[in-house]
Structure 1
Amino acid sequence: MSGMAVLCLVFLPYALGHYLSCLLRTVNAVLAPQLVGAAALTPGDLGLLTSAYFLAFAVAQLPVGIALDRYGPRRVQFPMLLLAALGTVGFAVGSGFTQMLCARLVMGLGLAGCFMGAVKAISTWVAPARLPSVQGYLIAAGGLGAATSTLPVQVFLKHVDWRWLFVVLALCCVVAAVLVLILAPTPQAAPNKKSDGAGLGNVLKHPVFRETAGLVLVPHMVFFGIQGLWIGRWLTDVGRFSEQGVAWLLYLGMGAVIVGAIAVGKVTEWAARRGIDAITVACLGVLLFVVVQWAFVMGWQPGMPVLAVLFTLVGTITGIEYTIVAQAMPPALTGRASTCLNLLIFTGAFAVQAGFGLVVSLWQPDAAQHYPAAAYQAAFFVLVLLQLPGIGWFVWRRRRPLAANTVESLI
């Protein structure tokens, strides 16, 4: 296929699905005041309601991955996007916490294949050497969706009730489903349909998969779990920013995702031409990401707007693990490899998003229902502690061969 054909028939239809997936994943960060008012939610309730999306994602990953490798992304994405539209409408008409929670779960199930389907399609039709850049563009499309969920949604809410927003997004899911059905090509199906279990085992045993997951997995959980909800609440409770101010900073942060995703792809290709592997680039990025989070722990209040943007800008480095794994896997396993990653990432993101709210809830709010800075500092401190072992393990493993080579040269 020509480059233009890949752009129009492969990239754009699937990128639209990923755009909507990220928009719906992060929109609750701006809608939090409306949702809290509509259903009288505590921080724990809000975290559970929002993180239910991640839980549904996690449950769907393995079956969706097997289906992608067996039937191709086109045949999988069309019905799933229609299911997402159903869940989005259900969220719009939900009248209580339980109904909205169930609708959020259905929404997450329907959108669970958007990113993996796009990765599968791109891995099938794009040359391996170009994968870092093209997948960077895909992540940038998701960043655009996340950016749309901030300031543009805030402007939309000035004219229309938040429930109508979800009706519009449901219609967009239907449009995306139709475009995938009409435009996307269908790759050749995998010939062996009895090797699904063995294929998953091969993915989990692969040394590149294990090394990548050990380093990047927990930071990726933190990135998804926090930027989709708690950055906005942190700005409201600790920084006392207005709803408009929070929406503007979230918009800048999600715009930074677009820049960061494209930059990560370009830097990874640049480093590869100079003999630096992608996992080393990932390690440096993860270290910087943890440093940013440590600034949250230290309570650097004058720099809160900068930290809110830096968190999402630097956090985009975590998306590099999809590229590393896709390049290392045979084509018949790329779908399952992506879904194995997503199973772990979104299960962890569910725990991070819900657990962060539980930690914050250990403190008492003030009369305006703002939680103190100490609550957020403690929650971010826990997250930093969770990420340090992976970095230490990676550095230790990389130093062992270097030390062995040094001893051999001395002998």
Structure 2
Amino acid sequence: MTQHPTTPSLSSSHGLKAFLTVLIPILLAFSLSQFFRSAQALLAEPLRVELTVSPEQLGLISGSFHFAFALMQIPVGVMLDRYGPRLTNGCLMLATVVGVLIFANAQSVVGLMIGQAVIGLGCSAAFMSALVLAARWVAPEKFAATSGLIVSFSLLGVLASATPLAALVETHGWRMVYYGLAGLSVFAVILDFLLVRDTPPGRAKTDQKGETVVEALRGMVSVWKNRQVWLLCGVAFFSYPTILTVRGLWGGPYLHDVFDLGPVGVGNILLIMTIGMILGPPTYGQLSRKWAGKTHGLIVFAVLVGAVTCLLQAFVGPVGIGVAALLLLLHGFLGSSATLNYAASREAVAEHQIGRALTTINLATFAGLFVLQGIAGLIIGRFDAGAPDGYRWMFIFLGIGLGLAGTCFWFGARRKKG
């Protein structure tokens, strides 16, 4: 990623105002991305009823977004260096519009998968664009806190995919809702081209051509040789993917089948989990800023306690909806510590490799989403439709995965950095 000799601290009101102006369109795109990857939890029941979609197929439909998203991470890194966040995110968001329309008109599982994949491709640059803008506009010591706030605000999209989505689906149907989302995606594209600026005011623009594709790939290989990055990838594969496997897909069917809740009831409980997800990123960002050098410890704590939360959900959650909701709230809060993975990856590599490290962590995150949601669907599909045991074993699987990732990171990070 092209680096600059200095980074403004945004200490002046003009600098902060300018940064927020360029960031708002990217935040809208990122919020839409969060919505699309979380909406399947509320769409699962309508899709099962209208198109007789099985649990395994639901996993594939949702996973298609994450698979396409993950495949795009290396190209997105190159595009960001060559063309900057404004053009990269704006052009790819056009694909989001196409994908939403495909999904809204789909009449089969294949059509739904294609729509989700195209949406995932279109949304693939939003988060990285926000992080690149933060790296260029914000002082390095404020990066973790800023990235935490970026993720927290983007989770308004997850918030919208809870009770508001449930109410809209009940009154207008899921297809009409997606037509409206296509229009909102067009609006995000327009704002991107009108407002986003790749560099702060008064700062000379650099050569946007950047590296060649071959040079970029060589740089990626050098990052992949870093042991700390590999350890962080292991955590990234499970931490955020685990909460989105629940919040983004299987939490809705779990609440419907185990507690017999209707769409709005499901949305209300998922809203509670989303609140935890919103509170987590700024909290961890401020803690990492206050406790400099303790990022690894915070990651280990959040991941291991998150593993315990999943296991408690498996064995204690079904006792009552209040217990399940509390555990989902805690899981959402702990799982959103995944933003620390990006801060730690920035610390793990040389300055000129930061962009590649961020992209690598994002690649691991969305590869994990594709794999975990698919495996969860296979686990649930092995039991009778709506059987609580299927969800119990899903939570056990997620808890064990988180525990192994956290333990490996704990011991691996204690060794001298490679």
TM-score (norm 2): 0.89
Count residues with an aligned counterpart. 392
- For each residue in 1:5-40, what CA deviation from the matched residue of structure 2 results, as whole angstroms up to 9, or x when unmatched? 11112x212111110100111111112111112211
Deviation for aligned residue 1:379: 1.9
Deviation for aligned residue 1:394: 2.8
1:77 paired residue among 76, 89, 107: 89
CA distance in 2, matches of 1:156, 1:227: 18
Pair 233,328 (structure 1): closer, same or farther in 2 beyond 3 Å: same
CA distance in 2, matches of 1:51, 1:398: 30
Whether 1:294 and 2:294 are equivalent positions in the alignment is no
Q: How does 1:3-402 map to 2 (within 5 A)?
A: 3-9=16-22, 11-187=23-199, 188=206, 189=208, 191-193=210-212, 194-272=214-292, 276-300=293-317, 301-302=319-320, 303-329=323-349, 332-365=352-385, 371-397=386-412
Pair 334,89 (structure 1): closer, same or farther in 2 beyond 3 Å: farther
- For each residue in 1:203-232, what CA deviation from the matched residue of structure 2 results, as whole angstroms up to 9, or x when unmatched? 212344233223443223322323211111
Pair 396,388 (structure 1): closer, same or farther in 2 beyond 3 Å: same
Pair 389,154 (structure 1): closer, same or farther in 2 beyond 3 Å: closer
CA distance in 2, matches of 1:349, 1:217: 7
Pair 398,4 (structure 1): closer, same or farther in 2 beyond 3 Å: same
- For each residue in 1:173-223, what CA deviation from the matched residue of structure 2 results, as whole angstroms up to 9, or x when unmatched? 111112111111134336433511111012212344233223443223322
- For each residue in 1:71-106, what CA deviation from the matched residue of structure 2 results, as whole angstroms up to 9, or x when unmatched? 211111111001101110111111222212111111
CA distance in 2, matches of 1:400, 1:175: 49
Q: Are the equivalent residues in 1 in contact too, given 2:128–2:359 (CA < 8 A)?
A: yes
Unaligned runs of 5+ residues in structure 2 are 1-9, 200-205
CA distance in 2, matches of 1:184, 1:380: 41
Higher mean alpha-carbon deviation, 259-268 vs 185-194, is at 185-194
Structure 1 letter corresponding to 2:371: A
Deviation for aligned residue 1:60: 1.1
Q: Secondary structure at the match of 1:364?
A: coil
- For each residue in 1:247-285, what CA deviation from the matched residue of structure 2 results, as whole angstroms up to 9, or x when unmatched? 10111211221111211111111111xxx4211111111
CA distance in 2, matches of 1:382, 1:64: 32
For 2:7, the equivalent position in structure 1 comes to none
TM-score (norm 1): 0.90
CA distance in 1, matches of 2:311, 2:325: 15
Deviation for aligned residue 1:329: 4.4
Deviation for aligned residue 1:49: 1.0
Q: Are the equivalent residues in 2 in contact too, given 1:68–1:76 (CA < 8 A)?
A: yes
Which ranges of 4 or more aligned residues in structure 1 deviate by more than 6 Å? none
CA distance in 1, matches of 2:139, 2:227: 23
Pair 255,162 (structure 1): closer, same or farther in 2 beyond 3 Å: same
CA distance in 2, matches of 1:206, 1:70: 25
Q: Are the equivalent residues in 1 in contact too, given 2:144–2:285 (CA < 8 A)?
A: yes
CA distance in 1, matches of 2:217, 2:155: 33
Pair 166,332 (structure 1): closer, same or farther in 2 beyond 3 Å: farther
CA distance in 2, matches of 1:179, 1:62: 25
Q: Are the equivalent residues in 2 in contact too, given 1:128–1:327 (CA < 8 A)?
A: no
Structure 1 letter corresponding to 2:211: N
Pair 67,330 (structure 1): closer, same or farther in 2 beyond 3 Å: farther
Q: Are the equivalent residues in 2 in contact too, given 1:66–1:336 (CA < 8 A)?
A: no
- For each residue in 1:313-334, what CA deviation from the matched residue of structure 2 results, as whole angstroms up to 9, or x when unmatched? 2210122111222344456544
CA distance in 2, matches of 1:354, 1:148: 24
Q: Are the equivalent residues in 1 in contact too, given 2:231–2:412 (CA < 8 A)?
A: no
CA distance in 2, matches of 1:339, 1:212: 12
Structure 1 letter corresponding to 2:392: Q
Pair 165,35 (structure 1): closer, same or farther in 2 beyond 3 Å: same
Q: Are the equivalent residues in 2 in contact too, given 1:17–1:176 (CA < 8 A)?
A: yes
- What percentage of aligned pairs have identical amino acids? 26
Deviation for aligned residue 1:158: 3.6
CA distance in 2, matches of 1:211, 1:296: 27
Pair 218,197 (structure 1): closer, same or farther in 2 beyond 3 Å: same
CA distance in 1, matches of 2:159, 2:190: 24
Pair 328,74 (structure 1): closer, same or farther in 2 beyond 3 Å: farther
Pair 260,52 (structure 1): closer, same or farther in 2 beyond 3 Å: same
Q: Are the equivalent residues in 1 in contact too, given 2:232–2:361 (CA < 8 A)?
A: no
Structure 2 letter corresponding to 1:356: A
CA distance in 2, matches of 1:350, 1:291: 23
